[in-house]
Chains A and B, each alone.
Chain A
């Protein structure tokens, strides 16, 4: 690997680490700063997308300047985050709606049916 390419990769790694740290920090700051529960739910979706994604990109190519190879295990972590984060966020949102702690004035669904969480209670399966 030529020295120029080596420097370029090191720059990308540094940018990934600093950028990822910055967005994770912004996400955490949003968690403190935003007043309502539904708004706070937006913060974790940020820290997992760019924050973790950029840090994992840096980790994935971090061995290249020392003659290593690109590691693809990090992509797996990103993939699992992309799969699980929306589901946990949906669970939290549904819990907030059910307990009446979400933002008020939820609009009508426009289909003649209620929202699934607020619909009539189903018997336990």
Chain B
């Protein structure tokens, strides 16, 4: 019963948090509205998201988020350096293939998003079977180390969180 009313509990919790951020104040009326939205929206969209997302360690996602934010800051300085100081014809842009160990679609989307948001790499495509990602690197003299870093730094953590 509860499962049918809330097909995606994490989505419902996220929607409640989002609604409070949107109204920007703490009132009981907002909580009622947030709960109404958190019930209706997952129900209406559940046809396009039939499987329940399974997160094994939800709290570890916070640590992962902090890590990604820190990496975004560091990588921004690296890319600013590439844009400002490396001559145009010396920028070594490469394609990389990242084989995936992850299976859960939510985890793979999160990994692809992480790769794009950490500047310098861009997830561009996925193999038809969903077992490899195509990544474009802006400046990678050593493409193998970039791939190893993606696998050890992000994918291994996501695997521990989701699977």
A residues in contact with B116, CB < 8 Å: 45, 85-86, 89-90
Main secondary structure of the interface of B (DSSP, over half): mixed
B149 within 8 A of A: no
A82 within 8 A of B: yes
Given contacts A103-B136, A111-B132, contact A75 B21 (CB under 8 A): yes
Interface size on A, residues (CB 8 A): 50
Q: Kindly specify which of B3-11, B42-50, B95-103 makes contact with the partner chain.
A: B95-103
Q: Kindly specify which of B32-40, B56-64, B79-87, B154-162 makes contact with the partner chain.
A: B79-87
Given contacts A46-B79, A115-B128, contact A86 B123 (CB under 8 A): yes
Q: Would A89 and B24 count as touching, CB distance under 8 A?
A: no
B residues in contact with A117, CB < 8 Å: 125
B16 within 8 A of A: no
A109 to chain B, nearest CB (A): 4
A residues in contact with B129, CB < 8 Å: 111-113
Q: Would B117 and A23 count as touching, CB distance under 8 A?
A: no
B residues in contact with A113, CB < 8 Å: 127-129, 131
The listed residue (B72, B83, B88) touching A35 by CB distance below 8 A is: B88
Q: Give Cα A29 to B136, complex, Å.
A: 20
Interface size on B, residues (CB 8 A): 38
Given contacts A45-B116, A50-B72, A76-B22, contact A94 B83 (CB under 8 A): no
A residues in contact with B119, CB < 8 Å: 42, 45-46, 49
A102 within 8 A of B: yes
Q: Give Cα A36 to B93, complex, Å.
A: 10
A34 within 8 A of B: yes
Smallest CB-CB A-B distances: 8 pairs: A109-B127, A93-B124, A86-B116, A30-B83, A86-B113, A113-B128, A113-B129, A50-B76
- Chain B positions near chain A (C-beta within 8 angstroms): 18, 20-22, 24, 72-73, 76, 79-80, 83-84, 88, 91, 93, 95-97, 99, 112-113, 116-117, 119-120, 122-129, 131-132, 134, 136, 138
